[in-house]
């Protein structure tokens, strides 16, 4: 099992803003625990430190697609080799067939790039959890414990 490597790079894929709240809450938890963390709301691969643990927070758009703001980052990843560790937190609506498809796509791509998952993706159903940042932060804190 790979080991957590602070600091953290929090990478956001969001269409309507809920995932941004999750990322901000994860950043606040990192600050509280004394871990350096930077949030990337318009992620570009060339700007993100590959020696950090990535926390990819993404929703799903359309027919299981990634949000527009993270799609170019994902496209750049497909031709990249990584050796860092990561987490994926996905927000989705379980009434759709493509529930958390964006998070699943990011997880698969990170694995194909050679990165090491520190946990299975945390998939949060916004129908069950209308304030997803609470669930995300609790899960993230458990991972760090």
Long-range contacts of range 28-32, CB-CB < 8 Å, 24 or more positions apart?
A: 28/137, 29/137, 29/140, 29/141, 30/6
pLDDT at 145: 85
Residue 145 lies in a domain: no
Q: Which domain holds residue 59?
A: 8-139
Residue 94 lies in a domain: yes
Residue 116 lies in a domain: yes
Residue 32 lies in a domain: yes
pLDDT at 4: 63
Residue 109 lies in a domain: yes
Q: How many domains does the chain have?
A: 1
Q: CATH number for the domain including 32?
A: 3.40.50.360
Residue 2 lies in a domain: no
Residue 3 lies in a domain: no
Local mean pLDDT, 10-residue blocks, the chain (145 residues): 75 93 97 94 94 96 91 94 95 92 96 96 94 96 91
Residue 144 lies in a domain: no
């Amino acid at each position: 099992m790979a080991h957590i490597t602070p600091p953290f790079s929090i990478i956001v894929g969001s269409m309507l803003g809920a995932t941004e709240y999750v990322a901000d809450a994860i950043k606040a938890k990192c600050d509280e625990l004394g871990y350096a963390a930077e949030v990337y709301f318009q992620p570009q691969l060339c700007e993100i430190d590959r020696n950090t643990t990535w926390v990819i927070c993404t929703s799903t758009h359309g027919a299981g697609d990634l949000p527009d703001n993270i799609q170019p980052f994902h496209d750049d990843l497909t031709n990249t080799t990584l050796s860092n560790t990561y987490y994926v937190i996905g927000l989705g609506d379980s009434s759709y067939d493509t529930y958390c498809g964006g998070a699943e796509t990011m997880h698969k791509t990170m694995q194909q790039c050679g990165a090491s998952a520190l946990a299975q993706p945390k998939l949060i159903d916004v129908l069950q959890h209308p304030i997803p940042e609470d669930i995300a932060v609790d899960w993230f804190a458990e991972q760090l414990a």
